[in-house]
Chains A and B, each alone.
Chain A
Amino acid sequence: NAGVTQTPKFQVLKTGQSMTLQCAQDMNHNSMYWYRQDPGMGLRLIYYSASEGTTDKGEVPNGYNVSRLNKREFSLRLESAAPSQTSVYFCASSVYRGDTGELFFGEGSRLTVL
């Protein structure tokens, strides 16, 4: 099992460019999440998808869009990248049984916006 796979692992963008971060999980999990982590900070939730076909905003959704393509895949799109979006992005998934919150994380995607 690969678990949670994120692509790309590294990306450099210029201000105003767009890109999509891809995430796929092979654990048959219902819920998927996108977090960002800035240097020296904890993780902050951008968007999540509790189940296939639904998406909801987290703490810091501005400047991002998401698509839950199917049960396995959850993508994060930056339409017009800004330097403030330089960060490490983590995708996660969970079974979500209501009272359990074990999240499985990917290895991260490191994005630099110049």
Chain B
Amino acid sequence: DAKTTQPPSMDCAEGRAANLPCNHSTISGNEYVYWYRQIHSQGPQYIIHGLKNNETNEMASLIITEDRKSSTLILPHATLRDTAVYYCIVRQTGANNLFFGTGTRLTVIP
């Protein structure tokens, strides 16, 4: 599985959009980009995933560059409850594991 690079920490003002970047320059054609978050010490929570196209759900939007070497997770209106560690993961089709790195610690500031 390709490795990912994320900034260790970011701040975002409450109510503003949070844009979390992720580099995955060695991603291969059959690898999906997944985002999870971990609030405090709870179990990680699935947010969104995509292959080539941009994706949106009720939680967030995922923007993947055309060359697929990087992506951005967007939380459109961050709230204090979005304070968490966000993990960007690439996963090969059919693979049984998700390799979690150390993620980005997002702090939403009132």
Does any Cβ of B come within 8 Å of A79's Cβ?
no
Say which residue of B41, B98, B103 sits within 8 Å of A103 (CB atoms): B98
Q: CA of A31 to CA of B91 in the docked complex: distance in angstroms?
A: 16
Say which residue of B41, B45, B96 sits within 8 Å of A56 (CB atoms): B96
Interface centre among B87, B93, B100, B102 (most CB of A within 10 A): B100
- Contact string, B10-49, partner A, CB cutoff 8 A, digits 1/0? 0000000000000000000000101010000111111001
Name the A residues within 8 Å of B36 (CB-CB): 103
Does any Cβ of B come within 8 Å of A92's Cβ?
yes
Instruction: Contact check, B49 vs A100: say whether CB atoms are below 8 A apart.
Output: yes
Say which residue of B45, B95, B97, B100 sits within 8 Å of A42 (CB atoms): B100
Does any Cβ of A come within 8 Å of B110's Cβ?
no
Q: Tell me what chain B mostly uses at the interface: helix, strand, loop, or mixed.
A: loop
Interface centre among A43, A44, A92 (most CB of B within 10 A): A43
Q: CA of A92 to CA of B93 in the docked complex: distance in angstroms?
A: 19
* 26 A–B contacts from the bound complex (CB under 8 Å): A31-B96, A40-B102, A42-B101, A42-B103, A43-B44, A43-B100, A44-B100, A45-B99, A48-B97, A50-B96, A58-B97, A59-B99, A88-B41, A90-B43, A98-B94, A101-B34, A102-B46, A103-B44, A103-B46, A103-B98, A105-B42, A105-B43, A105-B44, A106-B43, A107-B42, A108-B41
Q: Which residues of B contact A (CB under 8 A)?
A: 32, 34, 36, 41-46, 49, 87, 91, 93-103
- Ranked 7 nearest A-B pairs via Cβ: A105-B43, A42-B100, A43-B100, A102-B46, A42-B101, A99-B93, A45-B97
